[in-house]
């Protein structure tokens, strides 16, 4: 049995919030163990002085001291989980600075989260899984070329995608809305195989990702079942032809968003979430429906409009929809409304998530929403950079899975 | 005998001083001891469930971080029960400390609002200050009603 991945916990408030058990459970579920770096009480104030962030809460001082002990190599760990109470400004400052400081001064992967008493192990699972994968499977993640015949299936919250790859080329793709998880996966797989002109028995290795990864992974007897943070990072830099050096991957999904700071194809820091569906692809789907166009037409429509002409804030999907309806009722053009909707989603992601990672160019947008050119344009405007949308960007998870699963053909 | 809230609530020295001078200390040990759900009496005590932050809503609004509300679920009832308080500000971590500065602010505010007699002291930094520190606490505690006087 492989050694458990040791995750150092730096936190303030999880016990009094009643969520410490959830953190333990999430780590346990992915074969990791959480521990608290052991440091001397006398070292706490010294470390805080050295770090230079004058905080008042003793638990935050302890977090800083523990973070510095990790960076100084006084404590061994494979990864770091940073957690503080949601809505605490003092803790947010410490959380952000440590999240930046640790990767800058060590090779430790870091994930952070702000919790409430409602946080469950399920919410933390994908983050913990990504953290343990980066720590445990560095060799697998270093893969830059697909070999043999492999298939990747991404069972997302809105759509299911399948990709067949052969000798480092995409030879088949399949796409279906996710209704019944297994049925949708079977359908997408059949499409991809048909396009590739191959049969199931020709596939040498399978990888699955997305919300339904465990269910379809078991059903398809997958070699690799992997959360989407690492898989999407790999897929993005592979398709963008930027496997070495830093990059930033943004995936605005149907249910949540991911912003990942990537170095040499391996995620460094990442955030996942979104306060409300107002910051996700779901809001754009609703906008398209209200405007009476197909989602594929929303992007071009938005490019013809001026977002500034319509005031829209989709922080909450209900209020966002209200502004959309009000704008149309007040005589705004469909083009302007479409542009405003794209800008609003981009702005929510920018404000809620991109502030939490270091944006390094190139910025690669992936996932189905990256095909909405109005959204890509709005994000580029906000970040003041040209966004890269690689070919097959909507199949990113499936491509990443197919790429990584080829490592299993020879039992790597 | 008066019920005396101590701050920092985790300070064993303060707890001992209050008990020695014939009063009942109200602090973390008491608050947590009453909630113990662990294998042993000295197990890490914080077996707090997500219910605590909800109970803490009596003392802090929902927009207040869950860690503050979870702490207030323990300290809030003790403050309500307290008849006096000894508060030591800027204490050394080893003297007894509270993890969350925001909870500290709310605890001190709640104590001041309650109208009970409060002795506020600065943590001593040398021996002379230490002697004055203990003497001040002794004098304050002696001024509180003893058993049968209340």
Residue ranges of domains in chain A, CATH in brackets: 5-136 (3.40.50.11900), 149-229+396-408 (3.30.420.40), 242-389 (3.30.420.40)
Q: Do A90 and B93 touch (CB under 8 A)?
A: no
CA A169 remoteness from chain centre: 25
Taking CA atoms, what residue in A is nearest to B102?
A57
The pLDDT value given to residue B34? 53
Percentage of residues in chain B having pLDDT higher than 70 = 85
Which of A15, A56, A57 is nearest residue B48 as measured by Cβ atoms? A15
Domain encompassing residue B31: 3-143
Closest CA to A247 of A266, A231, A228: A266
What SS3 string covers A306-356? CHHHCCCCCCCHHHHHHHHHHHHHCCCCHHHHHHHHHHHHHHHHHHHCHHH
Give the end-to-end CA distance of chain A in Å, rounded to a whole number. Answer: 17
Cα A138 to Cα A320: distance, rounded to the nearest angstrom: 41
Asked whether the predicted pLDDT for residue A323 surpasses 60, the reply is yes
Closest CA to A230 of A400, A347, A377: A400
In a domain, B33, yes or no: yes
pLDDT (tens digit per residue) in A262-289: 888 888 777 877 556 667 778 888 888 8
Q: Do A56 and B99 touch (CB under 8 A)?
A: no
Our count of domains for chain B comes to: 1
Average pLDDT, chain A: 88
Which of A12, A41, A61 is nearest residue B67 as measured by Cβ atoms? A12
Cα B16 to Cα B32: distance, rounded to the nearest angstrom: 17
pLDDT (tens digit per residue) in A194-244: 999 999 999 999 999 998 999 999 999 999 999 888 899 999 999 999 988
The pLDDT value given to residue A228? 86
Chain A CB contacts of B125 below 8 Å: none
Q: How far is A54 from chain B (nearest CA, A)?
A: 12
Higher pLDDT, B3 or A303: B3
Q: How far is A90 from chain B (nearest CA, A)?
A: 9
Q: Do A58 and B98 touch (CB under 8 A)?
A: yes
- The stretch B66-70 carries a mean pLDDT of 92
Quickly state the pLDDT bin for A188 (edges 50, 70, 90): very high
In a domain, B149, yes or no: no
A49 and B CB contact within 8 Å: no
The pLDDT value given to residue B148? 55
Quickly state the pLDDT bin for B38 (edges 50, 70, 90): very low
Q: How far is A316 from chain B (nearest CA, A)?
A: 17
Which of A57, A86, A115 is nearest residue B99 as measured by Cβ atoms? A57
pLDDT (tens digit per residue) in A97-125: 998 899 889 989 888 888 888 888 888 88
Quickly state the pLDDT bin for A34 (edges 50, 70, 90): very high
DSSP A54-114: ----HHHHHHHHHHHHHHTTSS--SEEEEEEETT-HHHHHHHHHHHHHHHHHSS--EEEEE
For chains A and B, CB pairs below 8 A equal 93
Closest CA to A290 of A252, A332, A253, A250: A332
C-alpha triplet A156, A161, A162: angle, nearest 5°? 135
Average pLDDT, chain B: 86
Instruction: For residue A263, give the H/E element and its range.
Output: strand A257-263
The pLDDT value given to residue A313? 72
Quickly state the pLDDT bin for B46 (edges 50, 70, 90): low
Higher pLDDT, A253 or B89: B89
The pLDDT value given to residue B36? 44
Higher pLDDT, B30 or B46: B30
Q: How far is B57 from chain A (nearest CA, A)?
A: 12
In a domain, B148, yes or no: no
In a domain, B150, yes or no: no
Higher pLDDT, B47 or A386: A386
Neighbour-count burial of A322, counting CB atoms closer than 10 A to its CB (0-12 exposed, 13-18 middle, 19+ buried): middle
Q: How far is A115 from chain B (nearest CA, A)?
A: 8
Taking CA atoms, what residue in A is nearest to B49?
A18
pLDDT (tens digit per residue) in B90-142: 888 888 778 899 999 999 999 999 999 999 999 999 999 999 999 999 999 99
Q: Lowest-confidence range among A70-74, A135-139, A315-319, A339-343?
A: A315-319
In a domain, B82, yes or no: yes
- The stretch A152-173 carries a mean pLDDT of 94
Q: In the structure encoding, which two tokens stand for residue A376, read together?
A: 């890509």
In a domain, B63, yes or no: yes
Q: Do A13 and B63 touch (CB under 8 A)?
A: no
Asked whether the predicted pLDDT for residue B41 surpasses 50, the reply is no
């Amino acid at each position: 049995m492989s050694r458990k991945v040791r995750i150092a916990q730096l936190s303030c408030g999880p016990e009094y919030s009643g969520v410490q058990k959830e953190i333990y459970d999430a780590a346990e579920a992915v074969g990791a163990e959480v521990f608290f770096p052991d440091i001397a009480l006398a070292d706490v104030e010294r470390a805080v002085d050295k770090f230079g962030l004058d905080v008042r809460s003793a638990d935050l001082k302890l977090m800083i001291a523990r973070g510095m002990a990790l960076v100084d190599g006084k404590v061994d760990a494979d990864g770091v989980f940073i957690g503080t109470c949601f809505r605490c400004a003092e803790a947010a400052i410490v959380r952000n600075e440590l999240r930046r400081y640790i990767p800058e001064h060590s090779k430790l992967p870091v994930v952070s989260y702000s919790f409430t008493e409602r946080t469950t192990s399920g919410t933390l699972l994908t983050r913990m899984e990504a953290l343990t994968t980066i720590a445990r499977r560095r060799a697998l993640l270093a893969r830059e070329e697909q070999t043999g015949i492999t298939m990747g299936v991404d069972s997302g919250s809105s759509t299911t995608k399948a990709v067949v790859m052969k000798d480092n080329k995409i030879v088949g793709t399949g796409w279906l809305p996710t209704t019944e998880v297994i049925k949708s996966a079977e359908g997408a797989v059949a499409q991809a195989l048909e396009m590739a002109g191959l049969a199931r028995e020709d596939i040498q290795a399978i990888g699955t990702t997305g919300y339904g990864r465990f269910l379809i992974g078991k059903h398809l007897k997958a070699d690799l079942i992997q959360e989407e943070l690492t898989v999407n990072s790999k897929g993005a830099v592979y398709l963008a032809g930027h496997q070495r050096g830093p990059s930033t991957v943004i995936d605005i999904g149907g249910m949540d968003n991911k912003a990942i700071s990537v170095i040499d194809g391996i995620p460094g820091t990442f955030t996942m979430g979104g306060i409300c569906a107002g910051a996700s692809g779901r809001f754009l789907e609703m906008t398209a429906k209200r405007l009476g166009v197909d989602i594929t037409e929303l992007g071009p429509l938005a490019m013809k409009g001026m977002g500034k002409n319509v005031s829209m804030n989709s922080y909450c999907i209900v209020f966002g929809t209200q502004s959309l309806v009000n704008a149309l009722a007040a005589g705004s053009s469909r083009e302007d409304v479409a542009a405003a909707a794209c800008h609003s989603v981009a702005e929510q992601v920018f404000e809620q998530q991109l502030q939490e990672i270091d944006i390094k160019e190139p910025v690669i947008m992936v996932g189905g929403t990256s095909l909405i050119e109005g959204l890509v344009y709005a994000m580029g405007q906000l970040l003041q950079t040209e966004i890269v949308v690689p070919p097959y960007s909507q199949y990113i998870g499936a491509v990443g899975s197919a790429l990584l699963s080829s490592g299993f053909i020879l039992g790597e | 005998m008066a019920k005396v809230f101590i701050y920092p609530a985790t300070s064993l020295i303060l707890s001992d001083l209050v008990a020695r001078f014939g009063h009942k200390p109200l602090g973390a040990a008491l608050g947590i001891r009453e909630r113990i759900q662990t294998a042993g009496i000295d197990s890490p005590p914080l077996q707090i469930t997500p219910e605590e932050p909800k109970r803490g809503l009596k003392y802090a609004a929902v927009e207040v971080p869950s860690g503050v509300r979870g702490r207030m679920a323990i300290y809030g009832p003790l403050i309500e029960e307290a008849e006096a308080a000894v508060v030591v500000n800027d204490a050394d971590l080893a003297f007894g400390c509270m993890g969350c500065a925001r909870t500290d602010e709310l605890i001190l505010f709640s104590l001041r609002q309650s109208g009970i007699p409060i002795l506020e002291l600065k943590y001593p930094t040398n021996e002379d200050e230490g002697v004055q520190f203990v003497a001040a606490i002794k004098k304050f505690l002696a001024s509180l009603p003893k058993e049968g006087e209340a």
